[in-house]
Amino acid sequence: MARLLFITHPEVIVDPSTDVKDWGLSTAGRERMMRFATSDAAQNIGTIWSSTEKKALEAAAILGAERRTDVKTDPMLGENDRSATGFLPSPEFERMADAFFAQPTRSILGWERAIDAQHRIHATLNRILSEGGTGDIAVIAHGAVGTLLLCRLRDVPIARAHDQPFQGHFWSATLPDMRILHGWIPIAEKA
């Protein structure tokens, strides 16, 4: 039975002077992704899709090289749009993220509404899946949209309680019926 693996990029190099979409993977993030690419969980991946954000593209390239599979991209797999505020220091970002999940029908300081991001990621996934693929299908994207999609497929309200505990996790579902097999699991142990 084929599966969907929704994978979030692992740790990044945080650079407040660079657009968040242009942040790349840190050394620890690359190492974790390399371990995942050779893991049992990744062995049947035959199709890889990625967000166009640098950190996701770098993670997808590692997986694609190991699996000898080309990476397809779709900008609609991007993280929730937070460009209205730009970079926020960690404590402030966490407060904003809490509000984003707690009030899904409101735009928090200009951020894309959670309900809109959920609709976007769900529609994008359905379009990707309609194209088919070989083996398991891996989608490499971001934590917030991955959580929003997981909530939608589980038919539960949007809530941060369903979020990954840190960057670099995956959940999986059966294909084509999208029955969730498990929630967030780390792609590899943090170094």
pLDDT at 190 over 80: no
Burial of 60 (0-12, 13-18, 19+ CB in 10 A): buried
Tens digits of residue pLDDT in 13-46 = 999 999 999 999 999 999 999 999 999 999 999 9
Please indicate whether residue 46 or residue 188 has the higher confidence score (pLDDT): 46
pLDDT at 1 over 60: yes
Tens digits of residue pLDDT in 121-179 = 999 999 999 998 899 999 999 999 999 999 999 999 999 999 999 999 999 999 999 99
**What is the signed CA dihedral for 102, 148, 31, 72, rounded to 10 degrees?**
-150
Q: By the 8 A CB rule, do 50 and 29 touch?
A: no
> Full-prediction pTM beyond 0.85?
yes
Q: What does the alpha-carbon distance between residue 73 and residue 53 come to, in Å, rounded to a whole number?
A: 10
Q: Which two tokens stand for residue 173?
A: 């579902």
Q: What does the alpha-carbon distance between residue 73 and residue 35 come to, in Å, rounded to a whole number?
A: 22
pLDDT of 189 reads 76
Nearest C-alpha neighbor of 42 from the set 129, 117, 138, 149: 138
Q: By the 8 A CB rule, do 60 and 48 touch?
A: yes
CATH architecture of structural domain 3-179: 3-Layer(aba) Sandwich (3.40)
Domain boundaries along the sequence of the chain: 3-179
pLDDT at 88 over 90: yes
Average pLDDT score over the chain = 96
Q: Which two tokens stand for residue 186?
A: 């780390």
Q: What does the alpha-carbon distance between residue 19 and residue 76 come to, in Å, rounded to a whole number?
A: 18
Q: By the 8 A CB rule, do 60 and 53 touch?
A: no
Of the chain, the percentage scoring pLDDT greater than 90 comes to 96
